A = this chain, B = another copy of it.
Amino acid sequence: MKVRWLVDGVRAAAISPLDRGLLYGEGLFETILCGEGRPTLWSEHWRRLAEGCRRLGIALPAESLLRSEIACVAEGLPRAIVRITLCGGVAAERGYGARAETPTRIVCAWPAEPADPGPYRSGVRVRFCRLRLADRPELAGIKHLNRLEQVLARREWRDPRIAEGLLFDSSGALVAATAANVFIVEDGRLLTPALHRCGVAGTVRAFLIRHLPVEVARIPRERLLAAEEIFLSNAVQGIVPVCAVGRKRFRVGPCTRAAMRLLQAAEPLLQPRTDEGED
């Protein structure tokens, strides 16, 4: 895997073991699909990163600097996954209460294969995770570096035919998949879970809320299973229909297809075109 990166603008540099990103997971990240150095859904990524910096008290780098570093690491790659990581940085003192003047900025590119059209046509299978996401309102919505919950949840299954695991909060309400947001269709309307207690407010989710009538709703397990359609959204795969939750089957329906077409028109790299037999 040929990975290219810049640390504070320096090619292939390394990280201090004293960086607060490493000591405490103090920091933020964005994972962005890029084509020839151009990030998809950039305004959504930038908005979330800025909000994360505000909440964690991390200095936000200049937008133009991040854009030029993304272009640099992803140059010549027709399709690349770029991760921006802003770490807390190296503080003068030890301990939770210390702060660094400037964050450490990592911009990293992984070359990506063209998207497989199969899952977009037929949908993917998902399962329920046992792990419940903890309530953490101060951190809800932002993409911070404390991701042990997602790591543990993703380890709950190994079957490669299962694409994702659905995560609920302690009250039994759906939050998200381990690395995607979730939408359901009910009476022809789009619904997605509220994320004020936990979860990450995804960029495709934000795009859809901006462009379609989406109801932010409480979705317990029964309501999910009674849905007409279900789909996942994330910043690397776009919108992917769900064809099964456990043993229960779902169809790839018209509302899912309409959302896919909308994203395809805005970001063709992120959302592959699928030949549709019907609508």
Residues of B within 8 A of A94 (CB): 81, 110
A17 to chain B, nearest CB (A): 5
Within 8 A of B (CB), among A132-158: 134-136, 138-139, 144-155
- Copies of this chain, count: 2
Q: Is the CB of B24 within 8 A of A155?
A: no
Q: Is A40 an interface residue (CB 8 A)?
A: no
Closest B residue by C-beta to A3: B18
A209 to chain B, nearest CB (A): 24
* Known contacts A22-B22, A25-B145; A17 and B108 CB within 8 A of each other: yes
Q: Is the CB of B155 within 8 A of A57?
A: yes
Residues of B within 8 A of A136 (CB): 134, 149
Q: Is the CB of B87 within 8 A of A22?
A: yes
The CA-CA distance from A227 to B58 in the complex, in Å, is 39
Residues of B within 8 A of A25 (CB): 24-25, 145-148
Among B29, B96, B154, which residue has its beta carbon within 8 angstroms of that of A151?
B96
Interface string of A2-17 (1 = CB under 8 A from B): 0101010000001111
Q: Is A122 an interface residue (CB 8 A)?
A: no
The CA-CA distance from A56 to B23 in the complex, in Å, is 17
A136 to chain B, nearest CB (A): 5
Closest B residue by C-beta to A152: B138
Q: Is the CB of B24 within 8 A of A151?
A: yes
Residues of B within 8 A of A20 (CB): 151
Query: Which residue, A18, A22, A87, A135, has most C-beta atoms of chain B within 10 A?
Result: A22
Q: Is the CB of A148 within 8 A of B144?
A: yes
Closest B residue by C-beta to A179: B96
Q: Is the CB of B22 within 8 A of A85?
A: yes
Among B5, B22, B24, which residue has its beta carbon within 8 angstroms of that of A15?
B22
Within 8 A of B (CB), among A30-53: none
The CA-CA distance from A200 to B153 in the complex, in Å, is 21
Query: Which residue, A83, A110, A138, A151, has most C-beta atoms of chain B within 10 A?
Result: A151
Q: Is A21 an interface residue (CB 8 A)?
A: yes
A122 to chain B, nearest CB (A): 22
Q: Is A65 an interface residue (CB 8 A)?
A: no
Q: Is A208 an interface residue (CB 8 A)?
A: no
Q: Is the CB of B24 within 8 A of A96?
A: no
A28 to chain B, nearest CB (A): 10
Q: List 19 A-B contacts (CB under 8 A).
A: A1-B92, A3-B18, A5-B18, A15-B19, A15-B22, A17-B108, A22-B87, A24-B147, A25-B25, A25-B146, A94-B110, A96-B153, A96-B154, A97-B154, A134-B135, A135-B135, A136-B149, A138-B152, A139-B148
